């Protein structure tokens, strides 16, 4: 009787396990083929062309001639050369809207999209966003509906979920690989500055960039973007841009023609164990706020230096990258709920998702006249302008945005993203003042600039 009771108690757990574990050869040999057959027509190959000018070596490049006659001795022979590259893309709308990586098409002169049925179309780049390494293409299919992929909610992904990657590695043609979600909210050593990647061990190689990372229901979980590799081939560490970020860029870009994303207006550092001990917190996690911009939505909501942000819309925050990602992937005009710890107390605050302000107006102008910065293109820094230039949104003053070739400013070594600090000991606050101070000097200028966090000074007398 005791044995019968034990068996009776054990049977439900055993029966439940039977529902999950494969019990036959047919179940073990489950195939990805139905998923791939449905999804692969929406993944395209992308071919690009770019014309570059290449210097051609001649006898006059010999070091003997250069030594005695200078670098510019002899005729300069330059010839155009066509560079070809390839990648992948995903159709996300049946009208011919395609998402790919910015680094695949960003500087191309010609873009060609090849569908799975071998038809080719010229593509137009309609939205580009270097910060997320995403680009949106449009092909004209003359009203014919194309197969496309639907987005999944990438926040529902879990480590260990099965995924499938489809792309065009090494130009061999459309290829399918499978793996699992290895990690979430990963940073990668790429130019993308909104870093919260999906990491996968599905094989991703050069040419897969812009291709699809799919869930088992055939929906788009992310856009394959980068790999970690010492040889150029797959080592089982690939990164994909989450679908929620892709969807935010797509929605925003198609509506406005450019990507304008929400901006919190605050910065800080990850709360490590040491920082948590210093703040009296019971565990590490969150972002300790050390700067709040008075023009940002965070300041309006009441966020202050010293607050610790621990979540946004119930999504835990473990570092600054995750904080930027969560805010940037929101929808402009919506609200988000921040959970913060202030003086040991848990506080909730609601923020409006707004773009970085364009205040002051950038007022782009070219400095001119008989002075050492003539030919420099400058503008006023605002949070929006700074982010567009890839600089800190907290940067202020007058920034160099470009240098005219052969100009006086070019000869003195001025560079884009240099910030003018002082001219003849006068602090520079806007471009109008910069031009006035340069022209008012009496043939002698002492100029200070900030370059990559360093302050540089030079004196010029004409």
Question: Closest Cα to residue 92, out of 157, 139, 124?
Answer: 139
Are 426 and 447 within 8 A, CB to CB? no
Say which of 133, 185, 307, 418 is annotated catalytic.
133
Known active-site residue 385: no
Catalytic residue among 40, 88, 103, 382: 103
Give the other-Cβ count within 10 Å of 300's Cβ. Answer: 13
Cis amide prior to 360 (ω within 30 degrees)? yes
Query: In 3D, which of 80, 81, 83 has the Cα closest to residue 47?
Result: 83
**411 φ, ψ to 5°?**
-65, -30
Contacts (Cβ under 8 Å, ≥6 apart) of 236: 179, 182, 201, 203
- Which structure tokens are listed for 404? 């005219």
Quick one: three-class SS letters along 312-331?
Answer: ECCEECCCHHHHHHHHHCCC
95 is catalytic: no
Separation in Å, CA 66 to CA 58, 77, 280: 12, 15, 67
Q: Which of 77, 79, 78, 80 has the alpha carbon at shortest distance from 49?
A: 80
247, 93 in Cβ contact below 8 A? no
Q: CA-CA distances (angstroms) from residue 210 to 246, 250, 390?
A: 11, 14, 22
Residues 6+ apart with CB under 8 A from 34: none
d(CA 221, CA 174): 18
CA distance 441 to 452: 27
Of the CA atoms within 13 Å of residue 390, those in its CB half-sphere come to 12
Cα distances (angstroms) measured from residue 32 to each of 127, 176, 217, 220: 33, 10, 10, 15
Per annotation, catalytic residue among 209, 225, 234, 329: 209
Looking up tokens 């982010």, which residue turns up? 387
Secondary structure of residue 52 in the 3-state scheme: strand
Helices and strands, counts by H and E, the chain: 12, 25
Catalytic machinery residues: 103, 133, 209
């Amino acid at each position: 009787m005791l044995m019968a009771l034990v068996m009776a108690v054990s049977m439900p757990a055993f029966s439940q396990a039977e529902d999950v574990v494969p019990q036959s050869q047919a179940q073990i040999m489950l195939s990805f083929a139905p998923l791939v057959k449905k999804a692969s027509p929406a993944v395209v190959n992308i071919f690009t062309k770019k014309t570059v000018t290449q210097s051609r070596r001649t006898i006059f490049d010999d070091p003997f001639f250069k030594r005695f006659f200078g670098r510019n001795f002899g005729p300069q022979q330059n010839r155009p050369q066509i560079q070809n590259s390839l990648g992948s893309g995903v159709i996300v709308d049946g009208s011919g809207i395609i998402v790919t990586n910015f680094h695949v098409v960003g500087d191309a002169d010609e873009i060609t999209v090849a569908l799975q049925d071998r038809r080719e179309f010229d593509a137009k780049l309609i939205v580009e966003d270097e910060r997320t390494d995403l680009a949106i293409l449009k092909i004209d299919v003359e009203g014919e509906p194309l197969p496309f992929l639907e987005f999944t909610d990438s926040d529902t992904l879990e480590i260990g979920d099965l995924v499938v990657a489809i792309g065009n590695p090494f130009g061999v043609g459309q290829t399918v690989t499978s793996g699992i979600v290895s990690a979430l909210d990963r940073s990668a050593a790429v130019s993308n500055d909104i870093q919260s990647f999906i990491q996968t061990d599905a094989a991703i190689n050069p040419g897969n960039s812009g291709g699809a990372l799919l869930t088992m229901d055939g929906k788009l979980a992310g856009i394959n973007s980068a790999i970690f590799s010492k040889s150029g081939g797959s080592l089982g560490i690939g990164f994909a841009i989450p679908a929620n970020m892709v969807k935010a860029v797509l929605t925003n870009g198609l509506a406005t023609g450019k990507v304008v994303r929400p901006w919190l207006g605050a910065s800080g550092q990850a709360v490590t164990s040491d920082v948590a001990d210093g703040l009296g917190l019971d565990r590490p996690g969150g972002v300790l706020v050390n700067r709040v911009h008075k023009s940002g939505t965070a300041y309006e909501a009441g966020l202050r230096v010293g607050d610790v942000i621990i979540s946004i819309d119930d999504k835990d925050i473990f570092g600054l990258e995750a904080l930027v990602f969560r805010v940037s992937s929101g929808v402009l005009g919506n609200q988000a709920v921040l959970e913060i710890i202030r003086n040991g107390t848990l506080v909730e605050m609601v923020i409006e998702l707004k773009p970085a302000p364009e205040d002051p107006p950038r007022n782009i102008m070219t400095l001119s006249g008989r002075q050492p910065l003539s030919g420099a293109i400058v503008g006023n820094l605002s949070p929006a302008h700074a982010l567009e230039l890839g600089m800190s949104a907290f940067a202020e003053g007058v920034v160099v945005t470009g240098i005219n070739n052969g100009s006086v400013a070019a000869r003195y070594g001025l560079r884009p993203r240099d910030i003018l600090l002082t001219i003849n000991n006068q602090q520079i606050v806007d471009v109008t003042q910069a031009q006035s101070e340069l022209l008012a000097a009496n043939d002698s200028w002492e100029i200070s600039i900030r370059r990559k966090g360093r302050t540089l000074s030079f004196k010029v007398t004409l």
